[in-house]
Copies of this chain bind each other. A is one copy, B any other.
Amino acid sequence: MFTLIVDVSMNPKDINDLVLFQIEKTNKIAKLHGQRALEKHGLGITVDQWVLLKIIQERQPLSQRELADFSKRDPASITRTLNLLDKKELIGREPIPDLRRQYEVRLSKAGEQFVKENMPMVKQLREQSVKGFTKAEQEMLIQLLVRIQENMS
């Protein structure tokens, strides 16, 4: 009788076994898939732009700083994306009377309409992403992700 001892705690030989690699891979696949859907339905915006619109819809009015913190994006990047959404007249930036350093960002009428109109299709996309998941599995996944976020903060 022989016993073969294998140390399974060693470095994975395959980068595929790494949590962070799979997170990035999943993110890429999902984003690409989402982008395809937006194009197919002729929304004329990117996934990142949609996410920003949705955050604004849920939390307006808010400053660009808040938008950056909430979405974990760089303020510089927010500025540029808002410029694009502004050009498409989906959002507006209004000056705040006693706080001239920042703006109140809001959806325009057209922006509200746009989000409402396209929400069902986006909802369907989301549902497809977790097809076959139980409610418990979805919650578990989010919890595990949040724990990683905490570990890296």
Contact = CB atoms under 8 A, between A and B. Distances in A.
| Chain B CB within 10 Å, residue with most, of A18, A24, A131 | A24
Interface in A7-53: 11, 13-15, 17-31, 33-34, 51
Copy tally for this chain in the complex stands at 2
Given A129-B148, A130-B151, 17 more contacts: A11-B119, A15-B54, A15-B58, A17-B142, A19-B129, A20-B30, A21-B51, A23-B26, A23-B27, A26-B145, A28-B72, A29-B149, A29-B153, A128-B152, A132-B147, A132-B151, A140-B144
Nearest to A54: B15
A141 interface: yes
Interface size of A as a range = 35 or more
